[in-house]
Structure 1
Amino acid sequence: MPEFLIADWLGTPVWFWAVFLIIVVALTAFDLGFLNKEDKELGIAESLKLSAFYIGCAMLFGVWVWFERGAQSGMEYYTGFFIEKALSIDNVFVISLIFTYFSIPPKYQYRALLWGIMAVIVLRGLMIAGGAALLAEAYWVLYLFAAFLIVTGIKMSFAGDEPMDVGKNPAVRWISTHMRVTPELHGQKFLVKVKDEKTGKVVRAATPLLLALVVINIADLVFAVDSVPAIFAITTDTFIVYTSNIFAILGLRALYFALAAMIHRFHYLKYALAAVLVFIGSKIFVADFVLGGDKFPAWISLAVTFALITAGILYSLWKTRGEEEEEWPAEPNAGGQNFTTNTQQENLT
């Protein structure tokens, strides 16, 4: 093996990162080149099958990590993956609101999700790199992460179910004020050429699909404020932190269409997630101040996390059995009131 491949990068041999990158690129190419050839609505059955495929890939990657880096790393990877996967269910509710607000039909949602996930891979990487750099310089930052998780978990337990107001999002307001936005969709295009009504010149304009994509990525950054500290509270190994996050996110777009159709069935899951956040935050203080600095057993973290999430899902499904899906509180708004109306639009080539 070439020497540069066995050199450490962020505490892990380069060839480990190379294997992970190859898998991510292959899965993305498969998605772009095969699954996303044409605009179509992904059915629930197809969504579940595709999601099972992505989860299977994530599980196999965890097996590889387990055998190559040991049981400790393997259990930390699985714990991070399960937490991120469970937290992503909340993302689904918010993403559904965003698509509803911008009147994005299901057949175009998959494309927006795909490009959104690709942006998230980069954004999460930057956030995780920043967190790792902070912890490398000051370990006490981990206590801030832990305290934040405990407070977030407690707040989540008592929080109401108020929906987010997409129309008040600063990004939506800024784009609609500083850029032309078409009042209707143009297929799966994010940008189109339009004829300016005042000057007669052909200019570029954004479509509602681009605005939805921007808001989805902003929403993910907000959710990452919870999930990134949660995984750092499990392990400070940057490789485990990043790979568990990305594998959970990669399968989100596949799982979205099945979850979006039955999101009302997971109403009580938030209490299990709140308990997970409190547990993960608390174990940092327990390990350092009760166990005398000994590392909290990884198998306990994995077992408790899995048990809480499973219990939350099962209780939600049992409690909401027979209930019909509720209407989303957001009203469809094909572009928003401040969007510029343009005619004689020509698609970008």
Structure 2
Amino acid sequence: MELLSATLLGMPVWIWLAFFAAVLAVLAFDLGVMHRESHEIGVQESLKMSALYIGLGLAWAIAVYWIYLNYAGAGAVDPQIAGAATQHERAWTAVELYLTGYLVEKTLAMDNVFIISMIFAYFAVPRAYQHRVLFWGILGVIVLRALMIGLGAALVMEFAWVMYFFGVVLLVTGVKMLVMVDHKPDIANNPVLRFLRRHLRVTSDLHGHDFTVRQLDMASGKRLLYATPLLLCLVLVELADLVFAIDSVPAIFAITPDPFIVYTSNIFAILGLRALYFALAAVVHRFHYLKYALALVLIFIGTKIFLGDWLFDGKVPSSISLGVTGALLAGGILVSLWKTRRVGDTSSPAR
């Protein structure tokens, strides 16, 4: 019992375990019940799944309120939470920070859909097998984000200047995103893909939803283990998330240094990515201008690290962060839908 009540990164161990248990239960239900058999996921099913996951992400905000009302007092990692005048103010501040982080991570995840759709198209992966790749990709994300966020939290707690480094990273990323908004990655010449093809035995065709198969090697006469193109696809999807995390982890730490809010907002935003993918991939061109809004959000988050010290006695209030972030993203979505209202599925956005 003492171990469960011990504090880990500002939160009792039993709360961390409860969170992981909830996530594993959701994943088990998804794979074991909803998608036991590989099948093509249509837009209607994708929207229903997306609504479910978004509902879970928003419902977690209620859990955040209760947790910070009862289990995160003056020792809270985030100074805005620790400095709150009352328990209810502390809890509501935590909710605002969580929702801001969730919005940013969800939008970054939506931007990542474009890259994933290009990877699937390059490997000609049928829609029936795409969910399997995305599912195992999510498991990798859960582990990868835990490592990156744990390292980030340790650095932020130990070295105050790391936040300014994160701010510079976000400013550079935001400006780069504005300049390269129409850039398309060259998947065929990806160095990781070239390395894998040089060092692995890879089949020429897909073998159902299998990542590896055993085939007869003509040179040795033995049945050897081969990777399928689906495994290479999974590696590139994980690599895309790693690149995505380089932007998103500094972004969420710039919103709050609290590891619990950082990690839970990340995971709940990404959990619904594979559900949202099947609906969004078909209409991703309709959200072209959302990339501009996302770039401005990253620039705003990076800038507010410095503005907090100069104008707000340490940190921009969570209500301002949530309001500006929400307004920019909503504006990006509305402008996108308006500008592309007469654009066909295969056309470019209207300028």
Q: Please confirm whether the aligned pair reaches a TM-score higher than 0.5, indicating the same fold.
A: yes
What amino acid is aligned across from residue 32 of structure 2 in structure 1?
G
Runs of 4+ in 1 over 6 A off after TM superposition: none
Partner letter of residue 332 of structure 2? G
1:4-19 residue pairs with structure 2 within 5 A?
4-19=3-18
Pairwise CA distance, 1:160: 4.2
Work out the number of aligned pairs and report it: 326
Tell me the CA shift for residue 200 of structure 1: 1.0
Please show how residues 1-349 of structure 1 align to structure 2 within 5 Å: 2-69=1-68, 70-293=91-314, 295-326=315-346
C-alpha displacement at 1:113, in angstroms?
Answer: 0.3
Q: Go from structure 1 to structure 2 and tell me whether the alpha carbon gap of 1:9 and 1:177 turns closer, same or farther (over 3 Å shift).
A: same
Q: Structure 2: any 5+ residue segments left out of the alignment?
A: 69-90
**How far is the alpha carbon of 1:167 from its aligned partner?**
1.3
Contact 1:102-1:209 at 8 Å conserved across structures = yes
C-alpha spacing 1:104/1:327, structure 2 compared with 1 (3 Å)? farther
Distance in 2, matches of 1:91 and 1:65, equals 26
**Deviation of 1:288 (Å):** 1.3
C-alpha separation in 1, matches of 2:35 and 2:107: 26
> How much does 1:292 deviate?
2.9
Tell me, in whole angstroms, the C-alpha distance in 2 between the residues paired with 1:207 and 1:327: 33
Unaligned runs of 5+ in 1: 329-349
Equivalent pair of 2:202/2:226 in contact (CA under 8 Å): yes
Write the distance in 2 (CA, Å) between the matches of 1:291 and 1:306: 20
Counterparts of 1:281 and 1:164, CA distance in 2? 25
Aligned to 1:332: none
Query: Greater shift after overlay, 152-161 or 307-316?
Result: 152-161
* Cα displacement (A) at 1:12: 0.8
Is the CA contact 2:181–2:291 (under 8 Å) kept in the aligned structure 1? no
Aligned CA RMSD, in angstroms, stands at 1.3
State the distance in 2 between where 1:86 and 1:210 align. 27
Secondary structure at the residue paired with 1:161? Answer: coil
In the aligned structure 1, how far is the partner of 2:29 from the partner of 2:181?
40
Kindly indicate whether the alpha-carbon contact (under 8 Å) linking 1:149 and 1:281 is maintained by their aligned counterparts in 2: yes
Q: CA deviation at 1:76?
A: 0.7
Verify the 8 A CA contact 1:84 1:245 in the aligned structure 2.
yes
Contact 1:66 1:75 in 2 (8 A): no
SS of structure 1 residue aligned to 2:107? helix
How much does 1:223 deviate? 0.8
What one-letter code is carried by the residue in structure 2 that aligns with 1:10?
L
What letter matches 1:24 in structure 2? Answer: V
Aligned residue for 2:188, secondary structure, equals helix
Percent identical among aligned pairs is: 56
**Normalised TM-score (structure 1):** 0.91
Q: State the SS of the aligned residue for 2:214.
A: strand
Mapped to 2, the partners of 1:111 and 1:224 lie a distance apart of 21
Measure how far apart 1:15 and its partner are. 1.9
Q: Distance in 2 between matches of 1:243 and 1:141?
A: 21
